[in-house]
Amino acid sequence: MADLQSPKDRITLRNGYGIPCLGFGTWKMPDGEVGIDAVHQALHDGYRHIDTAAAYDNEGTVGKALASGGISREDLFITTKVWNTDRGYDATLKAFEESRAKLHLDYVDLYLIHWPAAQGAEAEWQRTNQETWRALETLYLDGLVRAIGVSNFKPHHLEPLMDAADILPMVDQIELHPGCNQEVTREFCNRHDIVVEAWSPLGSGRVLENQLLIDIAASYGCTVAQLCLRWCLQRRAIPLPKSTDPARIAENARIFWFDITDEDLQRIDELDPLGQSGLDPDTIDF
């Protein structure tokens, strides 16, 4: 990670495609002017990687902001995700077309399965994930997406999908922040050359009052938010912080001027559970 100097710098996925090392999260970003302004602000501050999803209900806003944002298409990296009600081969292809139309894009950079099917009979949910994955493979081979991956998959969801796959997942986007260090999934992904992305890298703001993080951040002269994002990067994950506040959007992009020592990384790794969303892919009911 020492070579990363700006949000525009890219990490190479297993297929050779580059993904910018910091993304702009849009979960809970409002539709309309507020959202457009936030994306424009992010582009102004050097973000080139925007993460949305069909379920966020703001793909249209992201599309409008990109169309008027003044950044050329090849410099942008846009991710969206297929929602749980659109699992399966045909439904996923249809959902992708809807997302692509809302985003006003010829192609999407990264398409993800938003959550694993994981409820009910094991053979059944494994088949559902495999069928959904087959649709992503088709989109990839047709040139409509540059990379494919999953979100919220643990190793026991990834393994059966990978056993049946022709093209292996390139990314797994998981909840990851101090107090939710996801060691098992990260280790699995590192071993299988799957790049990890961190959603809620600030624990949706819930970790910012932690005293250990406050003390460590003070020792570097950075904010707690910057410390959380830098910790993700140094743990080889791409953070996707969300904000609609211009000063915070800029603050969250300034994470390339300091290095956390190994000792401090470990102190952060060892924090007790903190600020977790409580959303477990094995038990969610949506």
Where do contacts with ligand A2P occur on this chain (CB under 6 A)?
25, 200-205, 208, 225, 241-245, 248, 251-252
In terms of CB distance, is 93 or 213 closer to ligand A2P? Answer: 213
Number of H helices, E strands in the chain: 10, 10
The torsion angles phi and psi of 72, rounded to 5 degrees, stand at -70, 150
Q: How far is the CB of 216 from ligand A2P (least distance, A)?
A: 16
Of residues 147, 182, 59, 162, the one with CA closest to residue 116: 162
In terms of CB distance, is 87 or 242 closer to ligand A2P? Answer: 242
Q: In the numeric block, which tokens belong to residue 76?
A: 């942008």
In terms of CB distance, is 58 or 128 closer to ligand A2P? Answer: 58
The three-class DSSP label of residue 167 is coil
Interacting residues of 124 by C-beta distance below 8 A, sequence separation 6+: none
Q: In the numeric block, which tokens belong to residue 156?
A: 């026991």
In terms of CB distance, is 128 or 252 closer to ligand A2P? Answer: 252
The torsion angles phi and psi of 180, rounded to 5 degrees, stand at -155, 75
Q: How far is the CB of 228 from ligand A2P (least distance, A)?
A: 8
Q: How far is the CB of 246 from ligand A2P (least distance, A)?
A: 9
Would you list the DSSP string of 59-111?
HHHHHHHHHTS---GGG-EEEEEE-GGG-SHHHHHHHHHHHHHHHT-S-EEEE
172, exposed or middle or buried, with CB in 10 Å at 0-12, 13-18, 19+? buried
CA distance 112 to 124: 20
Q: Which residues are catalytic?
A: 56
In terms of CB distance, is 7 or 241 closer to ligand A2P? Answer: 241
CA distance 148 to 146: 7
Q: How far is the CB of 230 from ligand A2P (least distance, A)?
A: 12
* Ramachandran quadrant class, 262 (left: phi over 0; alpha: psi -120 to 50; beta: rest): alpha
Q: How far is the CB of 241 from ligand A2P (least distance, A)?
A: 4
Q: In the numeric block, which tokens belong to residue 120?
A: 């009910």
Is 44 annotated in a binding site? The answer is no
Radius of gyration of the chain (CA): 18
Which residues are documented as binding site?
114
Which residues are documented as binding site for substrate?
114
